[in-house]
Amino acid sequence: MKNIEFRTAASAQGGLVVMAGVPGVAAGSRVQLRDHAGRVRSGLVIRSANDAVLVEVFEGTDALDLERTWVRFLEEPYKLPVSRDMLGRVFNGSGRPCDGRPPVISADRRDINGEPLNPAARAYPREFIQTGISAIDGMNSLTRGQKLPIFSGGGLPHNRVAAQIVRQAKLLGEEAAEFVVVFAAFGASHADARFFQESFEESGVLNKVVMFLNLADEPVIERLLTPRAALTAAEYLAFDLDYHVLVVMTDMTAYAEALREVAVLRGDVPARKGYPGYLYSDLAELYERAGRIKNRRGSITMIPVLSMPSDDITHPIPDLTGYITEGQIVLGRELSNQGVYPPVTVLPSLSRLMKDGIGKNFTREDHPRVASQLFASYAKALEVRGLAAIIGAEELSDADRRTLAFADAFERRFINQSEDEDRSIHETLNLAWDLLSMLPPESLIRVSEEELAKYHKGAA
Partner 1 sequence: MGKILEINGPLVKLELPQTVLGEQVRVGRLGLVGEVISRDGNTALAQLYEDTAGLCPGEEAEGLGWPLSVELGPGLLGGIFDGVQRPLQAMWEQSGDRIARGVAVASLPRDRRWHFVPDPGRRAGMPLFGGEVLGTVQETESIQHRILVPPQVQGELLELAPEGEHTVEDVIGRVRLADGRIEKLHLFHRWPVRTPRPFRQRDHAVAPLITGQRILDTFYPLLKGGKAAIPGPFGAGKTMLQHQVARWCNAQIVIYVGCGERGNELTDVLESMPTLTDPHTGRPLMERTLLVANTSNMPVVAREASIYVGITLAEYFRDQGYDVVMVADSTSRWAEALREVAGRLGQMPVEEGYPAYLGSRLAAFYERAGRVETLAGDHGSVTLIGAVSPPGGDFSEPVTSHTKEIIQTFWALSKELADARHYPAVDWLESFSGYVSSAAKWWADNIDPGWEAARAAALDLLAASEELQRIVNLVGVEALSSEQRWTLEAASLIKEGLLQQAATDEVDSFASPEKQFALLTALLDIHRQGMKLVKLGAPARRLIQMPLLAQARRWKSQHSSDDLEALKAKIAAIPAAFEPLLLEYAPAAPSSAMEEIRP
Distance, in Å, from the CA atom of 21 to the CA atom of 202, rounded to the nearest integer, reads: 55
**21 touches partner 1 by CB under 8 A:** no
For residue 419, count CB atoms less than 10 angstroms from its CB and return exposed for 0-12, middle for 13-18, buried for 19 or more: middle
**459 touches partner 1 by CB under 8 A:** no
Ranges within 320-349 binding partner 1 (CB under 8 A): 320, 322-324, 326-328, 347-348
Binding mask 398-437 for partner 1 (x = CB under 8 A): ----------------------------------------
Residues 233, 211: contact at Cβ < 8 Å? no
Binding mask 265-304 for partner 1 (x = CB under 8 A): ---xxxxx---xxx-xx--xx-xxx-x-x--x--------
Write the single-letter amino acid at 231: L
Q: Where are the beta strands (DSSP E) in 155-298?
A: 170-171, 179-188, 209-215, 244-250, 291-293
Question: Measured from the CB of residue 310, what is the shortest distance to partner 1 in angstroms?
Answer: 13
Interhelix angle for 226-239 vs 279-287, to 10°? 30
In the bound state with partner 1, the residue whose beta carbon lies nearer, of 98 and 396, is 396
Binding mask 368-387 for partner 1 (x = CB under 8 A): x---x--xx--xx-----xx
**125 touches partner 1 by CB under 8 A:** yes
In the bound state with partner 1, the residue whose beta carbon lies nearer, of 70 and 280, is 280
Interface residue with partner 1, options 118, 310, 361, 418 (CB under 8 A): 118
Ranges within 138-157 binding partner 1 (CB under 8 A): 145-146
Q: Is 199 helix (H, G, I), strand (E, B) or coil?
A: helix
Distance, in Å, from the CA atom of 94 to the CA atom of 444, rounded to the nearest integer, reads: 53
Closest CA to 14 of 197, 169, 213, 220: 220
Beta bridge partners of 211: 90, 183
**364 touches partner 1 by CB under 8 A:** no
Ranges within 179-238 binding partner 1 (CB under 8 A): none
Question: Measured from the CB of residue 160, what is the shortest distance to partner 1 in angstroms?
Answer: 24
Ranges within 34-63 binding partner 1 (CB under 8 A): 47-50
Options 13-21, 212-220, 367-375, 424-432: segment touching partner 1 (CB under 8 A)? 367-375
Interface residue with partner 1, options 43, 81, 138, 316 (CB under 8 A): 316
Q: Is 227 helix (H, G, I), strand (E, B) or coil?
A: helix
Beta bridge partners of 91: 97, 212
Q: What is the DSSP-derived secondary structure letter of residue 253?
A: H
The torsion of the CA quartet 387, 392, 393, 398, rounded to 10 degrees, works out to -70
CA 320 to chain centre: 13
Question: Measured from the CB of residue 66, what is the shortest distance to partner 1 in angstroms?
Answer: 22
In the bound state with partner 1, the residue whose beta carbon lies nearer, of 24 and 103, is 24
Interface residue with partner 1, options 3, 13, 361, 397 (CB under 8 A): 397
Query: Number of residues in contact with partner 1, rule: CB under 8 A?
Result: 82
Which residues 6+ apart lie within 8 Å of 107 measured at CB? none
Distance, in Å, from the CA atom of 308 to the CA atom of 313, rounded to the nearest integer, reads: 6
